[in-house]
A and B are shown apart, each in its own frame.
Chain A
Amino acid sequence: MSLPSGIYNVSYKQDMAVVRTRTQWVLLLSLFVALLAFPFFAGNYWTYLFNYVAITIIAALGLQLMLGYCGQVSMAHAAFMAVGGYSSAIMVSQAHVPFLAALPLSGVMAGLLGMVFAVPAARVKGWYLALATMAGQFIIIWVIAHNIFKGLFTTGGYESLIAPSASIAGISLRSGFRMYFLVLLVMVVMIYIAKRLTTAKVGRAWVAIRDNEVAARAMGVNVFRYKVLAFFVGCFYAGIAGSLWVHYTGIASVEHYTFTESIWFFGIVTIGGMGSITGAIFGSVVIRMLWEFAFRFGTWLGTVNPSLAAAAAATPLLVVGLVFMLALIFEPRGLAHRWHMIKRSYRLWPYSY
């Protein structure tokens, strides 16, 4: 990555640093201050939206690591979120595991199950792998919805499962305001871990596999092992996101984790930019907010002119579809690439060319 003019990396440590310049530190700290202050000024609505987007970012980071960095397609990301969410709800409500322990354990549960679905990745790739993981989406949701393990624990089947609110040291985090700080903390930690992973040995191995599997194997990379690891890590992220979502909304329901939702995670990573942590963040923010405001725009249009109500109802889909098309036409490398170009232009200003 390019650095501001006059700044050079002179050591490996500097090269690997996530934050490198004083300006970056100042901006980052300012951002943290703004984020910590945000829920004190924002209403319920905006706090909810932040929590929703932040949880999406965590899940999208998982898919980014699997797909964007390791090239392993997963069409079951929403189902892995469900595994995390249900695991957490069951652990807290039926096994009385403290939430703080259930949170990482739910990630582990999703990760372990992800490893099972990683086995086909040893044999197939691309769209064939997509089809194999698509089976995972349907199998996982079917197992949950039919309460297959009701002798051991109950998922509630189609009737859903009530999830207790997250609680830390006796403090309930049911409200969006309190949950905000937990979600923010987890998101920051997960972003940091993802960033570190991508610059570490494992991240480079993933990129090598993504770019050329045969060449990676020739260089001594244990392709199967790293693929399985990518699935574990990606699904771990999904599981953590699922756990946060379930305890935030107070309910675990299969209707939250549909195949369509898995497709949307694909869209998030694509629009944000493949192979970029920033891309997963941008994609999550843009797609989630776009849907939210498209719904509001459509409703508003129908209210302003009731005779156009039926046509206005189609507006959200049209708006989102149009934005997708434009984004793919004008920025096929994703929003992260555009952001990178803006940063570069800013650093070189006024000598942009």
Chain B
Amino acid sequence: MLDTVFRILKITVICAVCAVFLIAINTLISFITQVIFSNVVGEFFALISMYMPFNAGVVFSAIGLALSAILTFLIAKKIFDLTSWSISAV
């Protein structure tokens, strides 16, 4: 019972940490992008969206979100594994 509680607590903490990481990585990337590229990338997407039947900016944003989610999942998994009980090899 106690083990289950601790496990749930651990998963909750990991989810919180990864949510913070997800927000931080998005904010950092957007900040760096603004500083380095200003709005050229967005304008480029907007430009090609004019001749595509979809909004390229939105599509690439979704792809970026997927990549962020995958990276966040991997980090969460890594944290989970590192904090799991294990026996070192003899």
Is B one of A's binding partners? no
